[in-house]
Structure 1
Amino acid sequence: MASDPSFPLKQPLKSWNDDKRMNSLFSPFRQKESNPVDYETKLKFWVDLIDSWCLENGRGTFTVKYLLTVFRRKNAFPACLQTVVEELTRSGDVMTKDRFLSLDATESWARWAVRSIVKTPAVWSFNKLKEALIEIDPGEIEYVSIKFLKAAGTDVVVKCEKEGRTMMDFDEFYRVANAYNEEQASLILRWLTNERKASTIVHSGKLLAKIGPGAISEAEIAVMKINDTLSRLNQAVEILEKEKNLAVEDAKCYLRKNMRQSAKNCLRRKNEIEKQITKKLSAIDNLDSLLCRIRDAKSDAEILDCYKLGISALKTTFSETGLDEDSVANTMSELEEINEIHEEIENALAQPIGTSGDHELEDELKSILAAAEKRDTSVPEVPDLPDVPSAELSPTKSPSFSHLSASTL
């Protein structure tokens, strides 16, 4: 079955084309006590549908009459939306626009919800709300979706952190929030302010917003103005550069037509534009230098704060642990004495045990050594040898080979 073109969301809903189901959902609520499960199921369907419509269309405000036209189906209007909105108001997911705008900026939405919904009996709050609506048409009361404001505000914080910027005027915030209109943007900014995620100030007739904790300082306003001035100067330089190039082209065109006087006028205009460019570039350089000095001063202040915190921490540590020059000197002196005592103990423990009888052992060792030396120096005995003869020995005659002939040889 094709999706009904009257469905207000981009993502189609299958049950929207089920006539039987939608007739039941469009009908007024029955008593919750008769069928609690059906009551909660039907309530959840409409709560989810309203939340999705707010987020998809970037609208955080609505009236019951406007929702009737939004969720119109086949010329039928949901007859249960007033009860749905009352339930949302009682749960704290929705509040009237007047009540939201009167919320004290010093009191966060979460604290208000706890005070108004948890601490105050729910029945009393609901009855007081109905009493306040008696004199006016309930369908004309404008409500604010807290769930939408929370989601949109979170997106703004994430974008600013990603872009690395915190200060902006309301027009820039409107662009960053991507809201349906300026009223929606102002509600988102108010929610961020109540949640301590943003702060605002009116300066020189303009509403300035800071995304982040803490109040807006004069230095932050100055930095924002410098950045805005730099942006305008850079844009002016780009325009002047185009005008200068155009003047040069006009001069060339006049030269081709032999209109030298007109060409000279173009060159004069080009020279004047160059002077303006030079002045603006000089101003840009000065502002850039000033921004660097401001950042350096901020960094130096942070470093100085760190030094102070470090000194304070050291002093606290010394005070808590009793660290001072005298205690350290006394401790080192005691340590030296203990080391000397320890050395004496070690030397005493190194002495041999049972030294009695050492003189006898020394005498025995000496006698063994003397006997060994005596054996080493004694001459061995030589056996008896015969006497050396005294007569002179006669020479022995050698045999003669003279009788042998040469032929024999």
Structure 2
Amino acid sequence: MAAEWQKPPDWLDEERMNFLSAPLPSQRTDKPSQWDTQTKFWSDLIVSSCSDCCQVSILGRHVEERFTRSGRTPACLAGVVEDACKQGVLRSAKSWEKNDCSESWLEWGVNLASSWLTGSPERPESWLEVTYVIPKLVEQFSSDVISEHSRRASSSGRNDLFSPEGFVSLCRHVRPPLSKDDVGLLSRWLEKSSKLSIYLDEIDNEMIKLAVNGERPVSPPSKPEIALYRLRLCCVALSKQIEEVMSDIKRCTEAAKQKQMLGMRDGALSLLRRRKRLLKSLTQKEGTAENIEQLITGLRAVHDDRKIIGAMEVGVQAYREAMADINIDKVADTMDEFRDLHDKHNEVNAELCDSFSVFITDDGSMDMSELEAELDSLIHEDGIADAHAPSEPPVAGASAATPQKRDQNTTEELCIPVTPPESASKPNRDEGCPQHHDVTATPGSAHVPPKPTRSPAS
């Protein structure tokens, strides 16, 4: 039995596996810790391995083969499987179908006791020959199938019916290696859960309809759905017939060539006549298939249009009900009241602004005298700050000023009248007085223009 499943971390621990593979105690009360550890490990491993292999049922013999390590089979498997059936982790296929997939441990015990009391107990089979169903995986895989079908129906906008083959294809698309028997288990569980319905048409063809988006129970198929289903079946049948006819045409062509090469002209002509009839039949079948496809397209378009029209009718009715309580006079009164409230709010804002404005007079104009006084005080403070600021550094490359130059600059800044110097060619009369130098700047020094003097009267 080829199967790929993920082995647990303890699988390579020989000491741990020897403990887990040992026989179960005769009763749980003897060693409850060992009993619980072994049964939980192996029952969980059965479920997880079947999930990895996309199985919802497994034969007891396959369980034994799957868990055989180095030629040794766990001695506790029979007890583990029996305990798993009592706990509801596993179900035998017979009890699953007989009790409609809902037999509890108590019901199982009552049925077994009643069979012994009536004197007609069923002879127990070896657990190796029993097929066990895993209810948890049946529910999980069925939910996955419904989710995939709902996704397709949502994208296409319709809930198509399935043939039995189509349902098998859907299940195997969700869980690729799923067997046909397991698909049957899923279909029975979905039918019991009111998520699947099986119908028969006029010629006893089975039609399967699945629930969409949590629909329960499944609504019966409508006439357009049945018509589309039967047309799709015709298309599938015609496609198969067209493929067969094309294969026959190809064989007739090859056979006619061989007979012609062998000199069997009459046989070659007979094959060509048959090929001509097949070509005519092929043309007819292709035309029929094209007409059916156009009919399917038209039916689907009409079905979609009906859904759109129904939605629009519901929308118009809701629109009408929403507009029923609206009165144009009430709307006008509401707007007038809104305007009055808005004007009142503006007046309140104006009053609040007047109460907190310091420089606004009664007539609404600004009182500038106080602002002018504040501006003068700011300018005065700035002037005092500039007077105490450090002087600018001398310009690089300028020659140092002479003492006479500095004296003249100071005199000009203090606005002291200066007597213009006499001509340089005129000799100085008082030799004891220092020579008057020209106040012009020496070559290479910065030229400072003299400031205009003011009379004492000014």
Shift of residue 258 of structure 1?
A: 7.1
Distance 1:299-1:69 versus aligned 2 partners, 3 A rule: same
State the alpha-carbon separation in 2 of the partners of residues 27 and 9 from structure 1.
27
| Residue 287 in structure 1 maps to residue 292 in structure 2 | yes
State the alpha-carbon separation in 1 of the partners of residues 314 and 99 from structure 2.
38
Aligned match of 2:162: 168
How does the TM-score come out when normalised to structure 2? 0.56
Aligned match of 1:60: 56
Shift of residue 293 of structure 1?
A: 1.4
Alignment deviations for residues 1-56 of structure 1 (CA, whole Å, 9 cap, x no partner):
xxxxx998655565367267435533114655666544432222111222134335
Q: 2:161–2:229: 8 Å Cα contact kept in structure 1?
A: yes
Alignment deviations for residues 76-129 of structure 1 (CA, whole Å, 9 cap, x no partner):
65454454345434543333434432456xxxx7xx5xxx76xxxx7x557536
Distance 1:254-1:30 versus aligned 2 partners, 3 A rule: closer
State the alpha-carbon separation in 1 of the partners of residues 338 and 7 from structure 2.
86
Aligned match of 1:186: 184
Q: Which has the higher contact order (CA 8 A, sep 6+)?
A: 1
| Residue 144 in structure 1 maps to residue 133 in structure 2 | yes
State the alpha-carbon separation in 2 of the partners of residues 245 and 155 from structure 1.
44
State the alpha-carbon separation in 1 of the partners of residues 341 and 45 from structure 2.
86
Aligned match of 1:232: 237
3-state SS in 2 of match to 1:209: strand
| Residue 221 in structure 1 maps to residue 203 in structure 2 | no
Aligned match of 2:440: none
State the alpha-carbon separation in 2 of the partners of residues 67 and 256 from structure 1.
62
Letter in 1 for 2:304: S
Distance 1:131-1:142 versus aligned 2 partners, 3 A rule: farther
Aligned match of 1:370: none
Aligned match of 2:21: 25
Q: 2:56–2:182: 8 Å Cα contact kept in structure 1?
A: yes
Distance 1:212-1:331 versus aligned 2 partners, 3 A rule: closer
Shift of residue 284 of structure 1?
A: 0.8
Distance 1:211-1:22 versus aligned 2 partners, 3 A rule: farther
Work out the percentage of aligned pairs sharing the same amino acid.
19
State the alpha-carbon separation in 2 of the partners of residues 338 and 211 from structure 1.
56
State the aligned residue count: 327
Decide which moves more: 162-171 or 210-219: 162-171
Distance 1:174-1:307 versus aligned 2 partners, 3 A rule: closer
Q: 2:93–2:131: 8 Å Cα contact kept in structure 1?
A: yes
Q: 1:7–1:71: 8 Å Cα contact kept in structure 2?
A: no
| Residue 303 in structure 1 maps to residue 299 in structure 2 | no
State the alpha-carbon separation in 1 of the partners of residues 23 and 141 from structure 2.
32
Map 1:87-98 onto structure 2 (within 5 A). 87-98=83-94
Distance 1:69-1:232 versus aligned 2 partners, 3 A rule: same
Decide which moves more: 246-255 or 303-312: 246-255
| Residue 128 in structure 1 maps to residue 122 in structure 2 | no
Map 1:357-396 onto structure 2 (within 5 A). none
Aligned match of 2:393: none
How does the TM-score come out when normalised to structure 1? 0.61
Alignment deviations for residues 193-221 of structure 1 (CA, whole Å, 9 cap, x no partner):
23444322244444432343334514333
Aligned match of 1:153: 142
Alignment deviations for residues 342-386 of structure 1 (CA, whole Å, 9 cap, x no partner):
999999x9xxx99xxxxxxxxxxxxxxxxxxxxxxxxxxxxxxxx
| Residue 268 in structure 1 maps to residue 264 in structure 2 | no
State the alpha-carbon separation in 2 of the partners of residues 344 and 51 from structure 1.
76
3-state SS in 1 of match to 2:208: strand
Cα RMSD of the aligned pairs, angstroms, is 4.6
Shift of residue 333 of structure 1?
A: 5.9
Aligned match of 2:97: 101
Letter in 2 for 1:278: T
Where in structure 1 are there 5+ consecutive unaligned residues?
A: 1-5, 355-409
Where in structure 2 are there 5+ consecutive unaligned residues?
A: 154-158, 213-217, 351-361, 364-458
